[in-house]
Structure 1
Amino acid sequence: MRIEAFGFPNLVRLSAFAGRSSAFLARVDHDTWARTASTVREAGGRLISLWGAEETVGIFVISAAYALEDGILWLQSPVGDGRGERDGYPDISAIFPCATRMQRAVYDLVGLRATGAEDTRPWLNHGNWPADYFPLRKLSSGTERFESQEADYPFVHVEGDGVHEIAVGPIHAGVIEPAHFRFSVVGEKVLRLEERLGYAHRGIERLFEHVPALDGHRLAGRIAGDTTVAFTWAYCMAVERAMNGRIPPRAQWLRALLLERERIANHLGDLGALGNDAGFAYGLAQFSRLKEDWLRLNNQAFGHRYLMDQIVPGGMSTDVDARFITAILTQCDQIDTQVRVMQNIYDDQSGLQDRFAGAGILSASVAEHFGVYGLVGRASGRKIDVRVDHPYAPYHEVQVQAVSDDRGDVAARVAVRFNEIYESVRLIRTLLADLPGGNVVTPVEHAGSPSCGVGWIEGWRGDVFIALETGADGTILRCHCHDPSWQNWPALEHAIIGNIVPDFPLINKSFSLNYAGHDL
């Protein structure tokens, strides 16, 4: 279904993406808000994100971003009467179950409640915040007195003979971000898993309000270190669309080069970790070596192992030296060859395949129910890839061959990673072979009026989304950032059901979801 077919009388087309996709903004009442969610679901569209904001003191707005046939629909619905008295907004979690946690987060951050929602437990607020504290309200100073004792979280309990609970986290062994997992089990068989996140909440979206719009890319790049390219590009895209920036073709192609290098680096790391979690330490050793070589060339060619601060509003901070183009192409040949050798080794290891096959099955129906996308979705037959479905420059010229698998288990998610490495290597070769000449940056200037823009990038986990609103003076009024882990974390709770507890680290790693980028 095309966005214009909704017939919104106040539909505004935001600046078109360079490519074959656009974004539209519409302001609607509550009835239209709920009706649109149903229509989007029936039309096969998907909910990308949901968030709230206080526009002026006492005047609130709830927003949702939907992916439809021709791009993004950003829907806003006012909440409040200007006197600080707020009605709720219609719950859409019955239509899009993935909205449940987003709506809970909206209440914690802004104080807006979804009317009729079944699950109203706190999400980001762990009980340390004052009762009347909502960090994204205009009058919140950040100097409120906080409690030092967390409140008990009302986990859902499973009753029955022989059922007991196993609590894991939030502190974990090794270098891993915090999360709490509550297992209900009989013996070692998992009957239910419930997650508790929010421990890594750093107030990122409030921090954006203290940063000029043209400088916010540095903060965006630090939302999640393993996704710095995707978040920075999405932020810069939002700025450029809000301010009608024009990006040099060479910069667009270099951005894609960095994005594919980020994708490969993360897949290499995950493939090694998955081997190790299944008791195959050789896989960890070999893939760690390959990833380290990959990151070292990042540092040599672009000045940073994880490619931070390379993408800036208007283009790139630096060009790539011709001598490193040769080195990148040579490394692509080496990676392609060595990863194929490792895939053969993985396929031939019967013990490894016994752990992978049939573990953590996420069926296509469950994936569709939760709106799962990205790598995990493609491993369950959901062929969703923004680079293919809504290509932005240069992907409308360099066509991506989407990778998918229908099995939905750990083995499928491993296979998708291998094949995405090969596809990204192919894309890097194509990008460098046809790399345009010219400058790598064009200055972007604020026009002196309030503006809106969105960024939408297919990161290595899935599509990363940013919605930006700026003031007349170039300040950020609201910057909402969304990682695909919001949709994928609830699906992990279902994928573990019927498996044994010792298989959870393997299944969890096969999803490889975001903690800090999800908590914000």
Structure 2
Amino acid sequence: MSVFDLIRAGAPQGGRPARHLLAPAQFAQLPAALAAEPAVALLSLWAEPALVHAAFLDEAAGALLLASCPAESGHYPALSPARPGAVRFERMVRELWGLTAEGGQDLRPWLDHGRWPLTTPLAARPGRNGVPAGQPTFLPIEGEGWHQIPVGPVHAGIIEPGHFRFTVQGEMVVRLEQRLGYTHKGTLGLMLGKSPRTAARFAARLSGDSTVAHSLAFAEAAEAATATPAPPRAQWLRAVMLEQERLANHLNDWGFICNDAAFAFPLARLGLLREAVLRANAAAFGHRLMMDRVVPGGVAADLAEAALPVLLATLAAVEAELPGLAAIYDDHASLQDRVVGTGVLRPDLAARFAAGGVVGRASARRFDARLAFPAGPYAGSPPGLAVREAGDVDARVRVRMAEITDSIRLLRRFLATLPPGEIYQPLPQRGGEALALVEGFRGEIATWMALDDGGLIRAVFPRDPSWLQWPLLEAAVEGNIVADFPLCNKSFNCSYSGVDL
């Protein structure tokens, strides 16, 4: 039986897309079915008290389906034996809801460092923490001639906290393990019991550089759950903000990758261009990062009338500098020596983890949520799909370069076709549930939301693309020298806050 046939055999629970409730014995059949169908991607895994949910994507058919399983006696069948991307979700579910994945590949602590006053805070009955915080546990090492380098969680400069444990032989990295959770904010608990409009502020702050993308996925989930689409003008304005966010972040990442290879000039020029984009955002939407501008039902403010020329002039200024910066990137042998062949992510690994965004497309995975599920202005103006196969730092830079040019093209089209009308539609106070996919600059964000009959959030889970990309960074850095880790890390640019919840 296929994965989707197996899921559809469960009891339908409604929702958009449809969610089916499987008995534990049925859910336990999923790993074998998934092993036989590599094209079915695991998008996300999360829970409610005594209930586990999983979202799947059939990439060939472009179909989404959700499966749920009762966690009897606090246990449920693990998916990680067939989908390694499930490992960190299963660790998170165990710590937040107290539900254990039977047969899971790794059940070490992830978010909880032993310092929370309550254990399993989202469970029906959280427990009090009476055990002193212990040291983190890392995988054992056997053999001779290796040593370990601990880095973080505090890093130089302005960067989120995360611990990296390198096992090296000489200068060669033979293993990298990550330890995150330092920016855990209790976001899910803060959202529960609130209206989508009130809780939208938490979604906007889940990962600040993706505030538009996370806000949009959250808003679209609420709108789909209540069958209340945003007005057309709001959809166009959202797309403008989304592409402005992508443009600013890709410029920033390109510059910092060059800087981590000790070539500072591109960072200076690309940083200047990014600053121009942020200032245009402030002129157009009243905030440099456009935080709290996307809300359930539409947008919080219309495009300032005088801002259109500012936006267009900024796009022209960025576009004018791109050929020269690309030539500088190509023509400096010392830079090319650092990025070409460094931090290679094999296409088969990118496919197994369903890596999205630049990370996936630089390793031959042809997925973009804007193309797979076009909506609003993207339905009439699809983005280009920049794909590389080398999977190295250089490939990830070149995908960003192509997407910068494409975002400029899309922005001009969206601004030229901006429809008139309202920018906000209030959501009705009624129940429902839905999953929304939005292509942020890192990849697709998958936000699931369930509303009770009063229109308040009963359950929610915003899945950042970094959940499926962080483990791949561990694989990509193996066999590289320690000095190349900053290059690999920046070329992935995963979010710490986005997975720490």
Please classify the TM superposition score into its range, dividing by the shorter chain length: over 0.9
Distance in 2 separating the partners of 1:250 and 1:336: 26
- CA deviation after TM superposition for structure 1 residue 339, in Å: 2.0
Give yes or no for the alignment of 1:48 onto 2:43: yes
Answer whether contact 2:42 2:57 (CA < 8 A) is retained: yes
- CA deviation after TM superposition for structure 1 residue 120, in Å: 1.4
Using the aligned pairs only, state the percent identity.
40
CA-to-aligned-CA distance 1:7-64 (integer Å, 9 cap, x gap): 435335535xxxxxxx22111112322334544550612111101111xxxxx10000
Give yes or no for the alignment of 1:382 onto 2:365: yes
Give yes or no for the alignment of 1:89 onto 2:76: yes
Q: How does 1:14-25 map to 2 (within 5 A)?
A: 14-15=15-16, 23-25=17-19
Tell me which residue corresponds to 2:57.
Answer: 67
- CA deviation after TM superposition for structure 1 residue 217, in Å: 1.3
Give yes or no for the alignment of 1:479 onto 2:460: yes
The alignment yields a C-alpha RMSD, in angstroms, of 1.9
Tell me which residue corresponds to 2:28.
Answer: 34
SS at match of 1:455: strand
Distance in 2 separating the partners of 1:350 and 1:263: 28
Tell me which residue corresponds to 1:8.
Answer: 9
Tell me which residue corresponds to 1:79.
Answer: 71
Q: How does 1:271-350 map to 2 (within 5 A)?
A: 271-350=254-333
Structure 1 residues 325 and 387, CA gap change in structure 2 (3 angstroms): same
- CA deviation after TM superposition for structure 1 residue 102, in Å: 0.6
Amino acid at match of 1:495: A
User: Any gaps of 5 or more consecutive residues in structure 2?
Assistant: none
Distance in 2 separating the partners of 1:202 and 1:187: 38
Structure 1 residues 303 and 342, CA gap change in structure 2 (3 angstroms): same
Answer whether contact 1:157 1:184 (CA < 8 A) is retained: no
Tell me which residue corresponds to 1:118.
Answer: 105
Structure 1 residues 382 and 90, CA gap change in structure 2 (3 angstroms): same
- CA deviation after TM superposition for structure 1 residue 122, in Å: 1.1
Q: How does 1:483-494 map to 2 (within 5 A)?
A: 483-494=464-475
Tell me the number of residue pairs that the alignment of Structure 1 and Structure 2 aligns.
497
Which deviates the most, 508-517 or 370-379? 370-379
Give yes or no for the alignment of 1:501 onto 2:493: no
TM, length-normalised to structure 2: 0.95
Answer whether contact 2:236 2:377 (CA < 8 A) is retained: yes
Give yes or no for the alignment of 1:427 onto 2:403: no
- CA deviation after TM superposition for structure 1 residue 156, in Å: 1.2
SS at match of 1:175: coil
- CA deviation after TM superposition for structure 1 residue 2, in Å: 10
Which deviates the most, 228-237 or 41-50? 41-50
Distance in 1 separating the partners of 2:426 and 2:432: 17
Q: How does 1:253-264 map to 2 (within 5 A)?
A: 253-264=236-247
Which deviates the most, 203-212 or 5-14? 5-14
User: Any gaps of 5 or more consecutive residues in structure 1?
Assistant: 16-22, 55-59, 81-85
Distance in 1 separating the partners of 2:317 and 2:353: 38
Tell me which residue corresponds to 2:92.
Answer: 105
Distance in 1 separating the partners of 2:130 and 2:337: 49
Amino acid at match of 1:73: L
CA-to-aligned-CA distance 1:279-325 (integer Å, 9 cap, x gap): 11111111111111110110111000000111111111111133322
Distance in 2 separating the partners of 1:373 and 1:33: 26
Amino acid at match of 2:188: E
Tell me which residue corresponds to 1:20.
Answer: none
TM, length-normalised to structure 1: 0.92
Tell me which residue corresponds to 1:83.
Answer: none
Distance in 2 separating the partners of 1:93 and 1:6: 17
- CA deviation after TM superposition for structure 1 residue 145, in Å: 5.6
SS at match of 2:81: coil
Answer whether contact 1:248 1:439 (CA < 8 A) is retained: yes
Amino acid at match of 2:126: S
Amino acid at match of 1:498: G
SS at match of 1:480: strand
Structure 1 residues 477 and 259, CA gap change in structure 2 (3 angstroms): same
Answer whether contact 1:253 1:435 (CA < 8 A) is retained: yes
SS at match of 1:216: helix
Structure 1 residues 9 and 29, CA gap change in structure 2 (3 angstroms): closer
Tell me which residue corresponds to 1:134.
Answer: 120
Which deviates the most, 35-44 or 93-102? 35-44
Distance in 2 separating the partners of 1:37 and 1:476: 31
Distance in 2 separating the partners of 1:239 and 1:194: 36
